[in-house]
Amino acid sequence: MTAAEPVVAIPVYAGVSELELGVMLTVCRLCGGDGRAVTVNRSRASIVTAGGLVSTPHVLYAALPEPAALLVPGGPGAARAARDPLLRAFLAAHAALPTGASGSGLLLPAEAGTLEGRVVGGPADLADTLWGHGVADVRAGEVVTDGALCTTPGGFPALHAALHVAAALWGDDAAAEARRRLGTVA
């Protein structure tokens, strides 16, 4: 990687959704090429995803090149991961970057304090929890873009968060081409 090539950091944790993670990695690869998205954790120890797959994070937080954007996938392990002080500090330090968060992954920036005053989308079952983090509005079940932040319900809608970040880094044409190659509509 060279300094001119933007890197998208994707925090991963035990119980991360491999669907959301896979969508995010795929969009970044289609738009920016191999190695543009890196999974990051406090350790390089393998983690078990929500579906039982084993994954090894690409880098430690300390070894991560300065990211140009963040993608935060959800999964059943998100509530526990959101209590990690290193992860909270990492997200807080990069709050101004283009960011996409999906599903229960919204708990991570919420706990880091980066959703305060923002309009967010996301899963309906997290609406009350998100209100408790000082958001301006919660639009349950919707994809919402508020400035550089795109929040989505869990599962396949994570594609919208990934395309938002891709458009910010590699341009609207690259994001549209990725959408076309994935066979999705706007």
Q: How far apart are CA 82 and CA 88, in angstroms?
A: 7
Q: How far apart are CA 32 and CA 28, in angstroms?
A: 6
Question: Which domains does the chain show, CATH number per domain?
Answer: 8-179 (3.40.50.880)
Q: How far apart are CA 27 and CA 181, in angstroms?
A: 10
Q: What is the pLDDT of residues 4-59, one digit of tens each?
A: 689 999 999 999 999 999 999 999 999 999 999 999 999 999 999 999 999 999 99
Q: Which residue has the higher pLDDT, 103 or 183?
A: 103
CA torsion angle for 100, 94, 13, 116 (degrees, to 10)? Answer: -70
Q: Work out the burial of residue 65: count CB atoms within 10 Å of its CB; fewer than 13 is exposed, 13-18 middle, 19 or more buried.
A: middle
User: Is residue 153 predicted with pLDDT exceeding 80?
Assistant: yes
Q: How far apart are CA 10 and CA 136, in angstroms?
A: 25
Would you state the pLDDT for residue 1? 45
CA torsion angle for 109, 134, 119, 21 (degrees, to 10)? Answer: 20
Backbone dihedral region of 183: left (phi > 0), alpha (psi from -120 to 50 degrees) or beta?
left
Q: Could you tell me the two tokens for 21?
A: 């993670």
Strand partners, 41: 60
The whole-model pTM stands at: 0.94
Residue 184's pLDDT band, with cuts at 50, 70 and 90, is confident
Q: How far apart are CA 136 and CA 133, in angstroms?
A: 9
Q: Which residue has the tokens 């933007």?
A: 6
Contact indicator for 135, 117 with CB cutoff of 8 Å = yes
